[in-house]
Amino acid sequence: MNQFRTGLLIAALTALFGGIGYLIGGPTGMVIALGVAAATNLFAYWNADKIVLSMYGAKPLDARTGGEFYAIVEGLVRRAGMPMPKVYIIENPQPNAFATGRNPDNAAVAATTGLLQRLSREEIAGVMAHELAHVKNRDTLTMTITATLAGAISMLANFGLFFGGGDNRNNPLGAIGVILMVILAPIAAMLVQMAISRTREYEADRGGAEISGRPDWLASALEKIAMAAPRIDNNVAERNPATAHMFIINPLHAQSVDGLFTTHPSTASRIEKLRIMAAEMGITSGYQGAWDTRTPQPARSGPWG
């Protein structure tokens, strides 16, 4: 994702933050809210990755403790010609993964224990290549700041329910406006997150397939994750839906309210594009052939255009 799109997203969420402040306290409330949003943006730039990793109880790994998982990431990093990110493991049975960090030099990738237990080595490589593509495309800054701001917007809206609905002359819409804000503000924040998620995930799928050299590995991994994730709880994600867009597949249960606003494109569509890409590369099926971690795969346009 380019820098313009990153700035546009953050500006939209910041404006939403200011609008909520206006509904709570009029012009004064808007100024205060924009000040808080600016401080939140600055704090998130430097610390959002640490917050998200801590939220999910992620534990750091190294070459000694990370075993084959760490070695897979190392091999992919060599192929991609990227700096080595920090590698984390999350104790959670739901198969999933995400990347975070403000730039490729300060990035981290994390996978759940469920992902490492349910997927083959090749499928894990496909998933982690996808996450490294997010890092390479600098999507991770947008993803982490968006999660922080969207969560802050929800908290501010709830704050307004208790403190902004009384006989306050600074509040232009009174109690009705506050109630509408509490209902609509989190939805608006989610819609802003959704606005760019399709392009971001498709690009990371393509970039990850180019890093690993095997689009079929990621396609197979997405099939397995999509089948297992809806049946397994990720309680931290359910409590913090603003972070859902960071994962390779939506960790929220479809039956929840948040499931109405999916942050990811259709998994079937993603798999279809990866299968087309594999066919264009002359890959039919299965895991035949050795995985060469030394030479990056040349870029291809494929079904993404």
Active-site choice (122, 123, 131, 201): 131
CA angle 188, 154, 246 (to 5 degrees): 75
Catalytic residue flag (residue 203): no
Asked whether residue 7 is assigned to any structural domain, the reply reads: yes
**Is 50 exceeded by the pLDDT of residue 147?**
yes
Residue 291 inside a domain? The answer is no
Range of the domain at 17: 3-284+298-304
Pairing mode, strands 59-61 and 97-101 = unpaired
Mean pLDDT to the nearest integer, 75-96: 97
Please check whether residue 292 lies inside any domain of the structure: no
**Total count of domains within the chain:** 1
Residue 207 lies in a domain: yes
State the burial class of residue 224 (Cβ atoms within 10 Å of its Cβ: 0-12, 13-18, 19+).
Answer: middle
SS3 109: strand
Least confident of 25-39, 82-96, 169-183: 169-183
89-141 pLDDT per residue, tens: 999 999 999 999 888 999 999 999 999 999 999 999 999 999 999 999 888 87
What Å distances lie between residue 118 and 27, 158, 253, CA to CA?
A: 53, 39, 19
Could you tell me if residue 290 is inside a domain? no
Mean pLDDT of 72-94: 97
